[in-house]
Amino acid sequence: MMEKSVTIQLANGLEARPMALLVQIASKYESRICLQTNEKKVNAKSIMGMMSLGLAAGEKITVIADGNDEKDEAAAIEEITDYLSGKQK
């Protein structure tokens, strides 16, 4: 299991379209991927779960990847944190 904290740098936070793109990114990986805030942990591959977080720009979250392949976990965390930090469109 790997995890990394990131601050959301997307201008409008995770509204519907950016959230759908995040779910698509997470779904490319075999690992179980979750996003965790202080009070909640949800499956990053679930659009309904992601919507329940209501994440805004400037919020700090933890990306968690758990799977059988460490390379897959590392790649998933890197791509998701890059996306959330605004380094990838």
The number of domains in the chain is 1
In a domain, 25, yes or no: yes
Residue 54, pLDDT score? 86
Range of the domain at 65: 2-84
In a domain, 28, yes or no: yes
Closest of 40, 57, 59, 60 to residue 49, by C-alpha: 40
DSSP string across 56-89 = -TT-EEEEEEESS-HHHHHHHHHHHHHHHTTS--
In a domain, 11, yes or no: yes
Residue 89, pLDDT score? 55
pTM above 0.85, yes or no: yes
Neighbours of 75 (CB within 10 A): 15
**Digitized pLDDT (tens) for each residue of the chain, 89 residues in all:** 999 999 999 888 888 899 999 999 999 999 999 999 988 999 999 999 999 988 889 999 999 999 988 899 999 999 999 999 988 65
Residue 82, pLDDT score? 96
In a domain, 89, yes or no: no
Q: The domain that contains 70 carries what CATH number? A: 3.30.1340.10
